[in-house]
Structure 1
Amino acid sequence: MNVVNKIVTLEQTESVCLDPDRLNGLCRQLGDRNALNVLCRTVEELAVRLSNCERLWRQGDRSGLRKCAKSLVAISDQVGMTALARVAGNVAQTVDAGDTVATGATLSRLLRVGERSLTAIWDQQDLSI
């Protein structure tokens, strides 16, 4: 019988990229108050769509997952969440490629990046809006 002496736990952390110019542009274009309202609604919508992506994956609805991931690309890009937009695009690409393993892995990354991005945008709110 083999005995395991040491168990290693891998921590998966993700970097997020927020484009401050995009956020500042929203403030200039809409004014601080309106930009904050748009940002709040956008963050809520992103959270819902991230949850929908996970649900669609569990249900085996690859077409729905692809559509939801593509919508995340558009929405997150509008508010400067560049890492989230990039990873959501990667999910759509893996669905298109028919690579189920890569889709599962990339979706897991999308959920991690999404969570970190939503937290980061709220932290930015205190600094610039």
Structure 2
Amino acid sequence: MVVAKLRPEGAVQLDRDRLDQLYGQLGPAGAEGVISRAMEELAVRLARVETCFRKAQFDEMQRAARSMIAISEQIGMVTVAQVAGDVSALALGDDGAALAACVERLMRIGENSLLAVWDLQGATL
């Protein structure tokens, strides 16, 4: 018998045009401030979603995931917004397996997206 170990990877989709727009509207200092605050909020809310999932606090988890949508869209994290929407939609339903899979995907995509934006901040936009 062969056992295969799956290594899920989350593809990250960033809307670079959205980031360029922020820099154009707010200038480098203003855009970096907005992006930094948004990244901090997303990190906090990612942790909140995970904690609520483990504690079966699905109402609160749904609110935390829903609040991630606008924040992630603001800084061009397209995939995070989509997956947060999926978690929000599933949070109050009865498909525990789908919810667990989406929460895990949100954690993976969220972390990868935060790292991608962090890396972009070091690059010239």
Q: Same fold (TM over 0.5)?
A: yes
Larger radius of gyration: 1
Displacement of 1:80 after TM fit? 0.5
- Look up the match of 2:30: 34
Structure 2 counterpart of 1:119, one-letter code: L
Q: Provide the TM-score with structure 1 as the length reference.
A: 0.92
Structure 1 counterpart of 2:119, one-letter code: D
Aligned-residue Cα RMSD (Å) equals 1.1
Residues 45-84 of structure 1 deviation map (CA, whole Å, 9 limit, x = unaligned)? 1111000000011111110010000001111011100000
Structure 2 Cα separation of the partners of residues 102 and 69 of structure 1 = 15
- Secondary structure, aligned partner of 2:123: helix
Q: How many residues align?
A: 125
Structure 1 Cα separation of the partners of residues 48 and 20 of structure 2 = 29
Which shows bigger deviation, 60-69 or 94-103?
94-103
- Secondary structure, aligned partner of 2:9: coil
- Look up the match of 1:94: 90
Structure 2 Cα separation of the partners of residues 19 and 72 of structure 1 = 16
1:110-125 → structure 2 map (5 Å cutoff): 110-125=106-121
Q: Percent identity?
A: 40
Structure 1 Cα separation of the partners of residues 92 and 73 of structure 2 = 21
Q: Runs of 5+ in structure 2 lacking a partner?
A: none
1:54-93 → structure 2 map (5 Å cutoff): 54-93=50-89
Displacement of 1:99 after TM fit? 1.7
Structure 2 counterpart of 1:68, one-letter code: A
Structure 1 Cα separation of the partners of residues 58 and 96 of structure 2 = 9
Return structure 1 stretches of 4+ with deviation > 4 angstroms: none
1:50 aligns with 2:46: yes
Structure 2 Cα separation of the partners of residues 128 and 58 of structure 1 = 39
Which shows bigger deviation, 73-82 or 97-106?
97-106
